Structures are given as C-alpha cells and as structure tokens.
Amino acid sequence: MKRIGLLFGSFNPPHIGHLALANYILEYAEKDEIWFIVSPHNPLKEASELVDEDIRLDMVSRSIVREPRFKASAYEFSLPRPSYTIDTLDSLAADFPDCDFSLIIGSDNYLSLDKWKDKDRLVREHKLLVYPRPGFPIACDDISQNVKVVKAPHFEISSTMIREAIRQNKSVRFWLPCGIYDYILERNLYK
C-alpha cells in the first residue's frame, strides 16, 4: 500500500516553506509521496486575494518538477464547492483504495478543528500528521490515536507575506521555488 501525505492549501503562491515541509514529511515521516492538493477555495478563508486555481496549480507543478515523489493535484477542482477536507478525504479513500493517506496540517489548524466540517469523524476515520507552528503547542497526551505529531522545522514565511511584499515591489525571489518569482512578475500577479 502506497503511503501518501496530503498537503492541502491554496498555494497562493507556493513557497519554499511548503516544499521544505513536504520534503521533511517525505523523508522523516516515511511517506512514499506527497500530494499537493490545490484548494479552489478554503471555506475558512477569504477568496478575494486568490488567483485563478489553474494558475496556482501551474505554480505548484512548476515548483515540484524536480522531485518525482511530489504530485500536484487538481482533485478538489471537480468536487462540490466550497471544498471541505472531510469530503475530499472520503472521496480520495474511495477512489484510491490502494493508498494509505495522511492529512498534513499545522498545529494552528489542528487546534481549530472545531471549525471544520465533521471534525470528530475526520479525526476518527483519517490519519493526521500535525507539524508545529509557533504559538500553537499541542499537548501530546490529548490526541487521538490517528494523530501523529511530527517535529518538523518551522519557517517564518507565508504566502500572505509574499503577496504583500510583491504589492510593495520588494524582491522575494528566494522565498519562492526556482522560477516562480519570474512567473508571478510576468503575469502581474498579486499587484
């Protein structure tokens, strides 16, 4: 059975923190692949700053081209909207019965699971890999058997920071995977 880590996100844009985290999970949490699930619209986030989903998918695809164990996925594009993680996980499990999926989330998201659709069923029926985020500690004695906390390094970088820097005409070339900064400038994204 193939062990797949699922990294959901808007990837607006994808940055080196996403790739470093995925690389860490791949190597240290014993996964065969990491799938970057590009979310058309997270129901807990504002949609106004999102660039087109196909552009975000293209940026993810370009970002991971050199790692064959990383996969860019438009899986949620064909699902009802807004996208709810539990629905996507259920659908993936049905469509890929030969895969063992683990949802990769930050401790900030883990601590806000009460806002998620079918939170109890999600934790009961699906595996979660939780990585640390500064300011969001998790008491390890307080977690479900399907939840594993991984001690991944954290990066003080976010897509929000990158979008704001681009609006201010700051160069963030080295915060992004190779070629993505030029891709953004050529298409006049985030201005």
**Residue 134 pLDDT exceeds 90:** no
Distance CA 124, CA 52 (A): 34
pLDDT averaged over every residue in the chain: 93
| pLDDT band at 46; cut points 50, 70, 90 | low
Identify the H or E element spanning 34. strand 33-38
Residue 141: pLDDT band by 50, 70, 90 thresholds?
low
Given a cut of 80, whether residue 61 has pLDDT beyond it is: yes
Q: Is the pLDDT of residue 39 over 90?
A: yes
User: Where does the pLDDT of residue 182 fall: very low under 50, low under 70, confident under 90, or very high at 90 and above?
Assistant: very high
Q: What is the pTM of this model?
A: 0.94
Distance CA 65, CA 55 (A): 15
- The helix/strand/coil state of 93 is helix
Q: What DSSP element (H or E) covers 108?
A: helix 107-110
Nearest to 191 by CA among 11, 40, 51, 14: 51
- Domain boundaries along the sequence of the chain: 2-155
Is the per-residue pLDDT at 102 higher than 90?
yes
**Whether the predicted pLDDT of 44 surpasses 80:** no
Backbone angles phi, psi at 3, to 5 degrees: -95, 115
Query: Is the pLDDT reported for residue 180 higher than 70?
Result: yes
Residues 141-151: what's their mean pLDDT? 84
For the ranges 40-44, 69-73, 163-167, the lowest mean pLDDT is seen at 40-44
User: Thinking of the domain 2-155, which architecture would CATH place it in?
Assistant: 3-Layer(aba) Sandwich (3.40)
